[in-house]
Chains A and B, each alone.
Chain A
Amino acid sequence: MPQIALDQQLLDACAAVMLLLSFAMLSQRRIVSLVNLYAVQGGALATATLLVAWRTGEGHLYLSAALTIALKVIFLPWLLHRLIRRLEVYWDTEPLLNVSGTMLAGLLIVVFAFGLAQPITQLASTATRSAIGIAVSVVLLAFLMMITRRKAMSQVVGFLSMENGLFFAAMSATYGMPMVVELGVALDVLVAMLVLGVFFFQIREQFDSLDLHHLESLKERD
């Protein structure tokens, strides 16, 4: 049996942790825990980025890892926790699909994601190519979470988790995007969260709740 280097094993472990966390988020209804899971996922992403940076000696990946820690492990979770306290939304209501159903759908999605990533994995020359399938799974699982949740807050965490998956995909397929693009994407995510913060207060002021069933009146009349 061929020996697998320790850093490769660590990297695969990080990828596995990210996937597990995606499933955990899918089943978690307590919003505070959801945000914590998101922060840990950011941590796994940062660790993976650091490992790759150390292994390949790519300077900009260190910067990217630092950005991930600052933004996704510290700042955004802090912002979300603050919003949760100020808005007093602690629990999501029953999701549209029950937990076991969602888990089964999640499993199918992972299989599909690996199929989708197959051609890319074959072409990739990076040491991290085995993780591409996982990255695509994380993106699609986050998408599933956005579809099945009713509270605005959990949809937003899903959106952020999707972005984690996209960064992970970029990292494992090409060792990250050019720096200017990564900075731009990070800026957009940051601004998006600030805009959302304002937006949540507007929704709450108007409806006294963050439940999205209030936001279903604009439909085409028959």
Chain B
Amino acid sequence: MELLLLLGLPLAGAAVFGLLGARREAPEINVVFSLGTFLAACALTVRVIREGSLLLWHEQFFIDPFNLFLVTLTAFVALTTSLFSRPYMRIESVHGRVTPGRLRLYHSMYQLFSFTMLLALTTNNMGLLWVAMEGATLSTVLLVTLYRTPGSLEAGWKYFILCGVGIAQALFGTILLYFAAEKVLGAQGVTALLWTHLDAVKSTLEPSVLALAFVFLLVGYGTKVGLAPLHNWLPDAHAEGPTPISAVLSGLLLNVALYAVVRCKILVEGSLHSTLPSRMLMGFGLLSLVLATLFLWRQRDIKRLFAYSSIEHMGIATFAFGMGGPVANFAALLHMTVHSLTKSAIFFTVGHAAQKAGSQLMDDIRGLITLSPTVGWGLMMGSLAILGMPPFGVFASEFLILTTAMREQPWATPILLAALGIAFAAIFGRVQPMVFGETRLRRLPHAPALLPVFTHLAIVLLLGLYIPPYLADWYRAAARLIGGP
């Protein structure tokens, strides 16, 4: 029942916006649907706390510790982003960048995107996971091109083609997985693509086929995680689309894609009994981290800057999943959570800062703190949090990852430390003059919604100081599930 609501509400929301057409109160309706979805996620969480892991609807859907917190996080960020988007998109229409017709498309696709994310997280069927990931791309392509500027069209085309080709690789990987599973689980598999069944028999799956499948799955879903060298679409799509979409792409889509990669890794590692998948994850993770930090220096556009920072953090999480073991997995899961919250909070403030300056170039944004102290402090605190300053949660996860790396993979420690240091210098050096100093910014026609920003930052701060026992239990259980070499 909770699951039906969780998946049904966003889908119904998409249909309602499609049918209703352009309405003045559409942003409020959007918030209501997102709130309903979030409440359904909370109800589901309560039920899982009471009854333990669930298998629903002929085993087609399942909830275990690994996807439960991601479901709640996804529904939560979708809710806060809809709160942020309410004044943001109103201001955009006052500035004449969007028409009512495009706002209708925007709201409809926003709900559809939430639906595909939640479907990808809750489905037990690896094939449906693929369908949902592709659906997520399709529902956001037209959002990236919402402003119809040359830049946004280019970004949309790149996004479509790169992710389309990437996801086609993942389909081939899924076919190979099915091929190997069918040998063990029997033909015409009602069950041969169900993750829980695959997990039960993973040690008997044919290793040579699964190794090949993993290469394709990693490249395919890795494109959507934004792992270098397949990250090209990510900065463009983040920079050219509307800011609420940048926030959900960074905060949710990347997480869900990484979730898909890790689900595949669990199966393949169980079959291979070797460290190949782990080493591949570590390699891709480190490469993304290093490349992203180098590109950070060159950015002039504020949204591109934070898009590269997302690649960096996804690289860190991927690397940690590659190291494996209870501590690194725990840290990686925590990192996914806090990165998602912090990065979306940053995009909220960045969006309003860019509206005040009328430009996304960092040279044009000066002295935020004089005109609106809350936006300025939000950006400053968010940047400090994402850079791993204590006592924020990102510090806790990065600290755990670093200390594990020193013990398990000492060779990687200097690379990690250097990359984090460079990222710190690059981002802090840019954010500082934007927040302080003289200002030439203008006032906005609608008051920005800053509640989401400070809620997110407060949760990140809390997670840095104290992780609630339920959450810690889920992280630990999920970390055990993910395992490692």
A interface residue numbers (CB < 8 A to B): 58, 60, 116, 119-120, 123-125, 139, 143, 146, 152, 155, 159, 162-163, 166, 169-170, 173-175, 177-178, 180-181, 184-185, 187-188, 191-192, 195-196, 198-199, 202-203, 205-207, 212, 214-218, 220-222
Contacts and interface: CB of A to CB of B under 8 A. Distances in A.
Given A191-B138, A195-B141, A199-B142, A180 B127 contact: yes
Contact of B183 (A60, A123, A222): A123
A166 to B, nearest CB: 5
Nearest to B236: A218
Contacts of B158: 215, 218
A169 B209 contact: no
Nearest to B141: A195
B175 A215 contact: no
B454 interface: no
Contact of B190 (A124, A125, A178, A218): A178
B388 interface: no
Interface in B132-172: 134-135, 138, 141-142, 145, 148-151, 153-158, 160-161, 164-165, 168, 171-172
Interface string B204-240: 0010110010000000000000000000000010001
Contacts of B151: 217-218
A44 B161 CA distance: 26
B120 to A, nearest CB: 12
A216 B154 contact: yes
Contacts of A205: 148
A202 B300 CA distance: 27
B330 interface: no
23 contacts: A116-B212, A123-B206, A123-B208, A146-B161, A146-B165, A166-B172, A169-B175, A170-B178, A178-B192, A181-B125, A181-B193, A184-B131, A185-B127, A192-B164, A195-B141, A199-B156, A199-B157, A206-B153, A207-B150, A207-B153, A215-B157, A217-B150, A220-B295
Contact of B179 (A146, A174, A206): A174
Contact of B298 (A119, A139, A212, A220): A220
Contacts of A155: 161
Nearest to A119: B208
A141 B151 CA distance: 30
A120 B188 contact: no
A120 B153 contact: no
Contacts of A185: 127, 130-131, 134, 171
B180 to A, nearest CB: 8
A48 B303 CA distance: 49
Given A119-B208, A215-B158, A218-B151, A177 B141 contact: no
A140 B297 CA distance: 36
B157 A163 contact: no
Given A169-B175, A174-B182, A217-B151, A163 B168 contact: yes
B128 interface: yes
B320 interface: no
A184 B145 contact: no
A163 B170 CA distance: 12
A45 B127 CA distance: 21
B385 interface: no
B471 to A, nearest CB: 32
A199 B160 contact: yes
A31 to B, nearest CB: 17
Given A199-B156, A217-B154, A166 B175 contact: yes
B373 interface: no
A178 B193 contact: yes
Contacts of A215: 153-154, 157-158
A210 to B, nearest CB: 10
B176 interface: yes
A181 B189 contact: no
A174 B240 CA distance: 42
B154 A218 contact: yes
Q: Which 3 A-B pairs have the closest CB atoms?
A: A181-B127, A184-B131, A215-B154
B138 A174 contact: no
B208 A195 contact: no
B134 A188 contact: yes
A58 to B, nearest CB: 7
A159 to B, nearest CB: 6
Contacts of B189: 178
Nearest to A118: B208
Contacts of A166: 168, 171-172, 175
A104 B319 CA distance: 39
B268 to A, nearest CB: 15
Given A173-B175, A187-B131, A218-B240, 7 more contacts: A119-B212, A146-B165, A159-B161, A178-B188, A184-B130, A202-B145, A218-B154
A203 B157 CA distance: 9
Given A120-B212, A173-B175, A199 B145 contact: yes
A59 to B, nearest CB: 10
A152 B138 contact: no
A170 to B, nearest CB: 5
B141 A120 contact: no
A184 B190 CA distance: 15
A214 B150 contact: yes
Nearest to A183: B131
A215 B155 CA distance: 8
Q: Which residue, A174, A199, A212, has most C-beta atoms of chain B within 10 A?
A: A174
Contacts of A178: 125, 127, 178, 188-190, 192-193
Contacts of A187: 131
B131 A181 contact: yes
